[in-house]
Amino acid sequence: MLDAETSWDEVLLRLAVAAACGGLLGWDRETHAKPAGFRTHILVAMGAALFAMIGIELSSEVRAAGGQSDPVRVLDGIVGGIGFLGAATVFRSRRGVEGITTAAGIWLVAAIGAACGIGAYQTAGIATAIAWFTLTVLGAVIGHLTGVGGIPEDRRPISED
């Protein structure tokens, strides 16, 4: 947890781990030319980490002043805000609905960033590893099995032949 005793090194570590986790997942999206890529995922993860750290700090200050505080409410705000950002990546085209995996990735990267913000590095690392496996390995397997990069037949581009 973040409090008056937390060093600048710990703050830097939390933000750096959030950036690294977000960047790893964002790189996959970037290399597949998706709407939200490398930099977006880094910024979302770092933003969520920062909001989580601010929530902890504010909660500590309110409690020190004799008040009551619930830092979980900050997480509620992160989830709601990220929902709007994710929704901006989802769109409907002739091929169907697109961008859902990117939106889910943004949502997950925010959660990973929040985990880094509270110092839950193991949780963030495990979630990043599973998400990376899902995006890269499972994505490649689906692409190999379907021959079209995982796009279902009803969403494939219409052929002009």
Arithmetic mean of pLDDT over the chain: 82
Share of the chain above pLDDT 90, in %: 28
Q: What is the pLDDT of residue 1?
A: 47
Q: What is the pLDDT of residue 5?
A: 64
Query: In angstroms, rounded to a whole number, what is the distance separating the alpha carbons of residues 124 and 49?
Result: 11
Residue 159 pLDDT greater than 50, yes or no: no
The band of 125, judged by pLDDT with boundaries at 50, 70 and 90, is very high
Average pLDDT over residues 36-64: 86
Residue 146 forms part of a structural domain? no
Residue 161 forms part of a structural domain? no
Residue 15 forms part of a structural domain? yes
Residue 157 forms part of a structural domain? no
**96 or 160, higher pLDDT:** 96
Domain holding 127, by residue range, is 8-132
Residue 59 pLDDT greater than 90, yes or no: no
pTM of the model: 0.73
Average pLDDT over residues 23-42: 86
Count Cα neighbours of 71 within 13 Å in the Cβ-side half-sphere.
Answer: 20
Q: What is the dihedral of CA 76, 77, 81, 86, to 10 degrees?
A: -20
Q: Among 87-91, 122-126, 151-155, 156-160, which range has the highest average pLDDT? A: 122-126
Q: What is the pLDDT of residue 46?
A: 93
Structurally, the chain folds into a number of domains equal to: 1
Q: What is the pLDDT of residue 158?
A: 52
**26 or 96, higher pLDDT:** 26
The band of 67, judged by pLDDT with boundaries at 50, 70 and 90, is confident
Average pLDDT over residues 6-28: 91
Query: In angstroms, rounded to a whole number, what is the distance separating the alpha carbons of residues 110 and 90?
Result: 17
Residue 115 pLDDT greater than 80, yes or no: yes
Residue 75 forms part of a structural domain? yes
Residue 85 forms part of a structural domain? yes
Residue 21 forms part of a structural domain? yes
Residue 139 forms part of a structural domain? no
